[in-house]
Amino acid sequence: MNRIIDVINSSKTFIITSHVAPDGDNVGSSLALTWFLRAMGKESYYVLNDSFPQNLAFLYGNEKILESSELSKQILSSEYTLIALDCGDINRLAIGKDIINTASSLINIDHHQSNNRFGDYNYVVTDASSTSELVYNLVSKIDSNLISPKIAQALYTGLVTDTGRFQYDNASISAFLMAADLLSKGADKQEVTRNIYQSDSYDYVRLSAETVSTLEKEGIFSFMILETKMLEKYGVSYEDTEDLVNYTVNLDGVELGILFKERGPKQVKVSFRSKQFINVNEIASKFDGGGHMRAAGCTINNSLQEAVAMVLNYIREYLKEHGWNH
């Protein structure tokens, strides 16, 4: 961390980015670090080539989040440091390759087990609750007095969403201590709760019901399927469906839950969740994905039917091999 602090202190311009399909930790950690660097007197730009979940709009509403094409030639022709947050693989960064390649240095801050240490400087702690916790550790060491209520709110949002409201086993003592400190610095936990967990649209709930109607259970695993036509039927954005996977694993007697989300004719996002003993990062890696022990995902460039068959056949063999097929 000290080497990263040295780079931050000596650099003037920063570009912050993260992974495709942004979530609470992605957005929370990115906004917090962007704003903190500005508070230090630095130039800082949040760049992400993707659309954002509507339930996070309360965080980024007034922030100008750029796409790669919107960065000026003046910025790209000068020296800048690129900071990649919450991303285990450089190929999943939602930013132009030219921006990655021309950065004077690349800082990689992440907590995914699958992270391959792709940065010039790496702050990767796989047992951390969230990337927001790592950003919190970093900025606290630089100058905790610069953590404004707005920054505290962003970090708290990342922490809460990646720990499942402190339900998951990554919610360690340090996560609770971080939460207490952020609340003392002005984070509003009720605003986070209202916007993230108590503001579902009527159409989203109807979509949820139809998706749950596809639920199937086989022994200790279950799965659901979300088709693009269902999203179109209810007018719900793909980015707003990440939490649906929890229905698959919140069943009594189920250890492993899987959600298949069709994103196009030949693209299927597969989300894996587990409760106690199955390492879903290991499963996702078989399909060139990754993540954490209890939450991971992958993208399969195939039809929905073929993707479902491929993954379920692998899961059945995997469970049988480990003696968990009952």
Token pair for residue 18? 């993260």
Work out the angle at residue 242's Cα, subtended by the Cα atoms of residues 128 and 212, and round it to the nearest 5 degrees: 130
Question: Mean pLDDT over residues 217-228, rounded?
Answer: 97
Tell me the C-alpha distance between 18 and 29, whole Å.
9
Buried b (16+ CB within 10 A) or exposed e, 88-110: bbbebbbbbeebbeebeebbbbb
pLDDT of residue 71 exceeding 80: yes
| DSSP letters for 91-144 | GGBSS-HHHHHT-SEEEEEE--TT----SSEEEE-TTSS-HHHHHHHHHHHHHG
Would the pLDDT of 326 be above 70? no
3-state secondary structure 183-196: HHCCCCHHHHHHHH
Query: What tokens does 172 get?
Result: 């360690």
Residue type, position 152, single letter:
A
State pLDDT tens for residues 118-135: 999 999 999 999 999 999
Rounded Cα distance between 58 and 92, Å, is 25
pLDDT band at 169 (very low <50, low <70, confident <90, very high): confident
Q: Model-level pTM? A: 0.90
Instruction: Calculate mean pLDDT across residues 168-174.
Output: 92
Query: Is a pLDDT exceeding 90 seen at residue 139?
Result: yes
CA angle 312, 315, 316 (to 5 degrees): 90
159's enclosing H/E stretch is helix 149-162
Give the percent of the chain with pLDDT over 90.
87
> What mean pLDDT value characterizes the chain?
95
Residue 273 has pLDDT above 70, yes or no: yes
Residues 56-60, mean pLDDT to the nearest whole number: 92
